[in-house]
């Protein structure tokens, strides 16, 4: 059998009600995984569940901010072969107007949630030996785009965290990697267009040799990192940006 499959694997996808997470759940199910989807919106989770390829999938709603929520959430999960951390928020806000409240809100979901959710899963033995952890960071961590000071910092944190986890969890053959996409056509891009204008977004996309990405582009790469095909890859960060950088 091809090593690119997820047959027999149980995969948790956070942010599964969002653009990248939803498609990651769909692609993982198409590659044979049993998928557990999570997000805050129960209605959206039900809709995603209906889109998955046939299989024994489930939805477990949770707000992943706050330790108690995460502990209650983890207690409902079976042992996992992989985690795709797709939950997160994007903030475009000039540095001189940034404030600590926004900083804490962004870091709570972009950094604390994936870090301490992973820790809880590991400590309760719900992350099997040989498992794979994928964090969705961002190109923003690398290019210094205006307005991204808080967001870029939160995503750079994930890159550092993944490298350390790759080291510390290697004794259990658990891998940790990051994917750092440029602009991907989800509601995030719609929000960007509302903040600036459709013309500014079109001009930005024109800078990408291959245009903005699609959720499918990121999802296929997440599945690769979750699959046995990437069993010798850990501690890496993959920039996906249609050639921009
Ligand atoms: N789209 C892009 O251009 C792009 C580029 C680079 C990196 N990224 C990163 O990729 C990830 C996914 O992006 P996306 O475009 O798919 O975003 P999205 O469509 O806005 O989805 C965000 C997801 O995060 C979940 N979420 C937010 N706060 C949460 C909380 N407190 N508890 C649990 N879940 C929460 C949302 O769930 P509910 O709505 O159900 O609460 C939703 O499923 C994000 O980390 C983003 O920063 C995106």
**Residue 18, ligand 1, Cβ within 6 A:** yes
Q: Report pLDDT for 190.
A: 86
**Residue 21, ligand 1, Cβ within 6 A:** yes
Of all protein residues, the one whose alpha carbon is nearest to atom 41 of ligand 1 is 40
| CA angle at 47 for the pair 42 and 52, rounded to the nearest 5° | 120
Q: Report pLDDT for 192.
A: 85
Q: Report pLDDT for 182.
A: 97
Find the 46 Cα to ligand 1 centroid distance in Å. Answer: 17
Residue 16's closest CA among 104, 83, 116, 94? 83
DSSP per-residue string spanning 62-75? ---SSHHHHHHHHH
Q: Report pLDDT for 110.
A: 98
Q: State whether residue 127 is helix, strand or coil.
A: strand
The segments of the chain whose pLDDT lies below 70 read: none
Q: Report pLDDT for 89.
A: 96
8 Å CB contact between 19 and 191 = no
**Residue 184, ligand 1, Cβ within 6 A:** yes
Query: Which ligand 1 atom is the nearest neighbour of the CA of 17?
Result: 43
Q: State whether residue 240 is helix, strand or coil.
A: strand
Find the 245 Cα to ligand 1 centroid distance in Å. Answer: 23
**Residue 188, ligand 1, Cβ within 6 A:** yes
Q: Report pLDDT for 187.
A: 92
Helices H, strands E: what count in the chain? 10, 7
Q: Report pLDDT for 116.
A: 98
- Domain 10-240 adopts which CATH fold? Rossmann fold (3.40.50)
Q: Report pLDDT for 146.
A: 92
Q: Report pLDDT for 241.
A: 98
Find the 86 Cα to ligand 1 centroid distance in Å. Answer: 6
Cα–Cα distance for residue pair 220/187, rounded to 1 Å? 19
Query: Which tens digit of pLDDT belongs to each residue from 178-200?
Result: 999 999 999 988 888 888 888 99
- pTM of the predicted model as reported, rounded to 2 decimal places: 0.98
């Amino acid at each position: 059998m091809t090593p690119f499959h997820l047959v027999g694997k149980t995969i948790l996808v956070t942010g599964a009600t969002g653009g990248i997470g939803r498609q990651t759940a769909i692609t993982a199910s198409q590659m044979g995984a049993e998928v557990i989807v999570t997000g805050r919106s129960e209605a959206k989770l039900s809709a995603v569940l209906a889109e998955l390829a046939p299989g024994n999938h489930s939805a477990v709603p949770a707000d992943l901010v706050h330790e108690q929520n995460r502990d209650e959430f983890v207690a409902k999960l079976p042992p996992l072969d992989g985690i795709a951390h797709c939950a997160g928020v994007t903030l475009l806000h000039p540095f001189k107007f940034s404030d600590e409240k926004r900083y804490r809100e962004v870091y709570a979901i972009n950094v604390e949630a994936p870090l301490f959710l992973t820790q809880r899963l590991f400590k309760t033995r719900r992350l099997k030996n040989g498992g794979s952890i994928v964090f969705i960071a961002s190109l923003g961590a690398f290019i210094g785009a205006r307005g991204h000071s808080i967001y870029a910092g939160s995503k750079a944190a994930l890159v550092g965290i993944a490298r350390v986890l790759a080291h510390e969890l290697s004794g259990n053959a658990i891998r940790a990697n990051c994917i750092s996409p440029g602009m991907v056509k989800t509601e995030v891009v719609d929000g960007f267009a509302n903040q600036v204008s459709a013309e500014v977004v079109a001009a930005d996309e024109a800078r990408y040799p291959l245009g903005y990405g699609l959720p499918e582009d990121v999802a296929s790469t997440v599945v690769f990192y979750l699959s046995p095909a990437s069993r010798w890859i850990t501690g890496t960060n993959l920039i996906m940006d249609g050639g921009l950088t």
